[in-house]
Amino acid sequence: MFFARFSDAILGAVLTVGAVMMLLVIIPISVQVPKSNKVLAMSPDFWIKIIVWFALALGAQLIFQGLRNAKVGLSEDDIAAIEEKQSHHHPMGRSMLMVLIAIANLFLYYFLIQWFGMVLASSISAITFILLCGERRVKIMVPLAVLLPVALYYFFFKVANIPMPLGIFS
């Protein structure tokens, strides 16, 4: 069970190779960047590269962690038991219900933007997604659901100069 022992390192290697390919080949070929671009954050390839750099860092971390864990010397049965314990199993009906709730939440979010604006609709939708992911601590949910949309709104409004709908707050 070579793959069970080195699964994290293999996944990290695949992610790292994919990120390097994106940075060196795919993004330069696919994304046209105008020479007149003055603001780095407004460059068409800037945010794509940021995400790919994060993927590269995650891939490197997975390789390091996977190789470190492979040296521990657990037996194949112990590895299989740990993987079974760490995996989350939901009945098929519950999984389908969670997917349908997520899709309904996206549609609801789309319609709430018109009435409540981007910030409040994003907060409502974020709380729904956080609950759907299993988080129940209000100390985590509320600050995350409030601060993230507000921070994104101010970034797009102040830095990128992109107006966003405010709904009833305009």
Dump pLDDT digits (tens) for 31-82: 888 888 777 767 888 889 999 999 999 999 999 998 887 777 667 677 677 7
CB 66 within 8 A of CB 3: no
Name the residue among 129, 126, 170 with its Cα closest to residue 148. 126
Tell me the pLDDT tens digit for each residue of 119-137. 899 999 999 999 998 889 9
Give the residue carrying structure tokens 């939708």: 125
Q: How confident is the model at residue 165 (pLDDT cuts 50, 70, 90)?
A: confident
Q: What is the pLDDT of residue 155?
A: 84
Instruction: Record the pTM.
Output: 0.57
Q: What is the pLDDT of residue 1?
A: 54
Enter the tokens of residue 161: 């100069």
**For the ranges 6-15, 78-87, 136-145, 157-166, which has the lowest average pLDDT?**
78-87
Q: How confident is the model at residue 24 (pLDDT cuts 50, 70, 90)?
A: very high
- Eight-state DSSP code of residue 72: T
Coil, strand or helix: which one is 108?
helix
Domain boundaries, the chain: 2-86, 92-169
